[in-house]
Structure 1
Amino acid sequence: MLAINEYGLVFGLPKDPAGNTGVVVFVDCMNKMARLATVPDTIDGVGITMLFVDRAIRQHGLPESIVSDRVPRFTGNFGVLGTKLTMSKMDLSQIYGQTKRVNRFIEDVLRSVCAETPKRWSATLPLVEFALNIAVHSSTG
């Protein structure tokens, strides 16, 4: 069982053909693996929880706790899974920093993609996830 998992959101991307304008990011703090999913700006807590089950739990197991990025509309549904939800605070930046770094990387890569083909950013997301997950991390080697 995982000790901590984090999630964050990246919004403000051009609308793709499916109507998505954002990315939800799940990071396993133990092995630094990231799981990404495209989302519309209307996604709610139930939608985030369903994506968490599909993208994170299915591949990594149920974590004991989750650190969120303090977005109120997403905080009420994780308790159903038997997982403790911890709201990030500024003094938890070392813990939550992993997702913030991943979000920054995603934003940089997608900004480059959007400059060339603005509405096709979501088609490149699996490759962005792959690049993130094969990168060597100093803490995991």
Structure 2
Amino acid sequence: MERFDEQSWDSLKSSPFYEILREYKDVLPDNIPAELPQDKGVQHEIDFVPGTKYCVTRQWPLPQEQVKAIDDFFESRRKAGQVRESKSPHSAPTFCVKKAQDGRRIVHAYNKLNDATVPAQTSIPRKDVIIDSMALSTIFSALDLRDGFYQILIRESDIPLTAVSTPSGMLWDWLVMSQGLNNSPATFNRCVTHLLRSVRDFASS
């Protein structure tokens, strides 16, 4: 999404679709509303391998600049209603990695949780199949959802399983699908397929 951040409406005036884009501007907001997303008919579910009890990995110390970045991140997600303070018996540590451009990406070490999760069997479409499906087409478009994972709710009973710790001593539950969960890509693809089902003849997903 970063590559579109500097693209203005003025730069799109020469597009034959400019008027349509302006008419439906509310569908493409500049910022995601600071609230929980609507239920889109697909929620992320976490099913444990039989016999699994708790998934706990202790948080390790991090440099102060990473601690601040993590605390700022969770404060913004709390204000958006995407996380809540947790009392879960589960816990995965949090750390940072540098992005290719400026900033840091917040990462959760969900290794134990992912090892204990039954893998989803939802198939991810192959790039060559999607390209083949566009043969003879004359108009192409693509949509890039800003914070796409955060637009999908976690199944209510599975929220405590998403608990993550921070080096400042907090424990948070995710209310939306976070990065790093084993079946997140499959859930996201299932959601997109569900939403585009009625227009599948001309909208491959």
The verdict on a shared fold, with TM-score over 0.5 as the criterion, is no
Larger radius of gyration: 2
Higher helix proportion: 1
- Taking structure 1 as the reference length, the TM-score comes to 0.28
- Taking structure 2 as the reference length, the TM-score comes to 0.22
Higher strand proportion: 1
